[in-house]
Amino acid sequence: MLKKFYRLIILPYTLFLLYLMFLGMGRFQYDDNVLRIEPIISTVKFVEETILWEDVIRIVLGNIIMFIPFGFLGWIFPRLKDLKHLLFAFMSVIVIVEALQYFTRMGIFEVDDIILNTFGVYLGWLLCKAIENKFGRLVL
C-alpha cells in the first residue's frame, strides 16, 4: 500500500521541489552567476551571519528533510535499493540541477546543497530500510 502511494506522489513532489528550486520562495534571476564550492564553509558563514534561527532551520534542515523521500526510490527502481547506486544516481541528478540553477542564474550552485541533499537521501534510504524491516509485507 505504501509503495503504491509513493509511486503516485513522488512525481508531483519532484515537480514541486523543482519549482521551489527555480521559482519559489521569492527567487529572482541573479545579475551574475554565483558559485559556492567551499564545502561546509558557506553554510557555517550563513549560520553565523543569520540573525533569525528560523531561516537557518528552514534552509539548512530544509535541504536535508525535503530530499528524504528520494531515499525510497528503490521502491520504484529496484536497482536503487543499493545505496551506492542510489547515491550515484541522485548526486548525478542534483549536480545537473545545481548547474542549471547556475546557468539560468535562478539560484546558486552550492556544494553544500549537494552534500545536504545527499544526506537527506541517505536518511531516507535508512528510513526505507527500517520501514521494510519493521513492517515487511504491509509496505507492499
Domain ranges for the chain: 2-139
Weakest mean pLDDT among 36-40, 68-72, 95-99, 105-109: 36-40
Sorted by sequence, the CB contacts under 8 Å of residue 18 that are 6+ apart come out as: 97
Facing residues of 36 across strands? 110
- The torsion angle over the Cα atoms of residues 48, 54, 55 and 59, rounded to 10 degrees, is 100
Phi-psi region of 77 (alpha: psi -120 to 50; beta: other; left: phi over 0): beta
Is pLDDT at 34 greater than 80 in this prediction?
Answer: no
Which pLDDT value is given to residue 54? 74
How does pLDDT run across 90-136, given as a tens digit for each residue?
A: 999 999 999 998 888 877 788 888 999 999 999 999 999 999 988 87
